[in-house]
Chain A
């Protein structure tokens, strides 16, 4: 990518996960110039990270991922990887940055497919090295971390835990326990409800096979992680009993929260903490669509169908988009089921001790935060949320712990270099992308 350029697309997609890829492919297949932007070095987002190369993992997923990669390529979509959107200097122009430079992106239609991130909750010892997110540890293994023979406890909540445990086990990890905070009742209802999704049953059966023999506890959560410089063991609550299990890694995440920062910066309205969209995935801002997890945490199938609807709608193919509404409706019911099943239980609010760090960037403890009555007050007086993660880690936790509403979003929506923010439109070379 040329430094300091301005790139124009008829349809610009932000986010290269399943939703973004589906949107970009469908739009480009209608003979329109489409660009897709993602901050990772390859497309795929989180769930499809390294999917097309990984031989051992869920073969259906990797087939699905490869299919979309091929469709994107065949349709002539311009992929801009390693690029992150940081600011909207003027309406209709996005400023994006990579390791070497920055560029401006302009568009006629914008599709936001910024995905989701894991929710982390603080508990004593959670800041120890080798305590990571569930998706976080999986990403490390996908990026070359040797895990064979290592003991990994998987904890938290959400279907991601099972997928991660299966993946790690396939790569040789020993899983002493999967600790899920949801109740047996909720999980049983979840299992029963899966009858409505045959594809998910097949996945479920495969998963069951991959996880055979791994102890699974519901009504269970981590109480503390122990170790001096790195993790040595984890204490888990299991239906009232407490046990301490030695391990090398703790893969712990409490489901997902949507990445709504960029939509908020662009002025999109929210509903129930997610981006508000109409039937055609249009947000409340003209020319801006949103698909996938930022509209509701719903998994791959929902992301794919929403992405396609947005892609088609962005190029005016409303009839074809409408044809997918039924599929989306079905997939959305799965999203609602997920939400109900993996709701966080109130006991998790009591996990942190007064000295437990909640804001990791600025080392702000739970007791210091408890003195405040709002996110803004806490930010201003303790610096919680004013570090480089911009409150992405601690904010989600505090929303659960204290029910604090997040603050308004200001640029840069992700840390950006001074020279990037100091760029003016007039000074950049206008250079429309080819192909």
Chain B
């Protein structure tokens, strides 16, 4: 994986598209920067982070194949693959 252009930035992919975030940003922040909802609710509504502290579970995404990750509790890493989930 090529290293990020600036050492204070990280590049990861969100639903296949690259997103550049500040170093030490959480994946939830990456989703917000990318303008993507994290998940779709039972009734099909788009949802994003609510509580910011890991208890609401609205910010869940699939990270590198692992489902139901609370993105507000995960730091972005270079090359991470993030996908929204139901």
Closest residue to B10 on the A side, CB-wise? Answer: A144
Task: Tell me the complex Cα distance, A388–B23, Å.
Answer: 29
Provide the main secondary structure of the chain B interface.
Answer: loop
Task: Tell me the complex Cα distance, A387–B72, Å.
Answer: 18
Whether B46 pairs with A145 at a CB distance below 8 angstroms is: no
Interface size class of B (residues with CB under 8 A): 20 to 34
Whether B52 pairs with A40 at a CB distance below 8 angstroms is: no
- From B22, B47, B72, contact of A127 by CB (8 A): B47
Q: How many whole Å from A16's CB to the nearest CB in chain B?
A: 12
Contact A117/B58 with A127-B45, A132-B50, A144-B26 known, Cβ cut-off 8 Å: no
Q: How many whole Å from A131's CB to the nearest CB in chain B?
A: 8
Number of A-B contacts (CB under 8 A): 106
Whether B32 pairs with A145 at a CB distance below 8 angstroms is: yes
Whether A46 pairs with B45 at a CB distance below 8 angstroms is: no
A353: Cβ under 8 A from any B Cβ: no
B42: Cβ under 8 A from any A Cβ: yes
Q: How many whole Å from A52's CB to the nearest CB in chain B?
A: 13
Whether B58 pairs with A360 at a CB distance below 8 angstroms is: yes
A136: Cβ under 8 A from any B Cβ: yes
Q: How many whole Å from A50's CB to the nearest CB in chain B?
A: 9
B-side interface residues toward A, CB under 8 Å? 21-26, 28-29, 32-33, 35, 37, 41-43, 45-58, 60, 68, 72-73, 75
Whether A229 pairs with B37 at a CB distance below 8 angstroms is: yes
B55 partner residues in chain A, CB cutoff 8 A: 117, 389, 392-393
Task: Tell me the complex Cα distance, A135–B49, Å.
Answer: 12
Q: Which of A144-200 contact B (CB under 8 A)?
A: 144-146
A129: Cβ under 8 A from any B Cβ: yes
A146 partner residues in chain B, CB cutoff 8 A: 33
Task: Tell me the complex Cα distance, A230–B34, Å.
Answer: 13
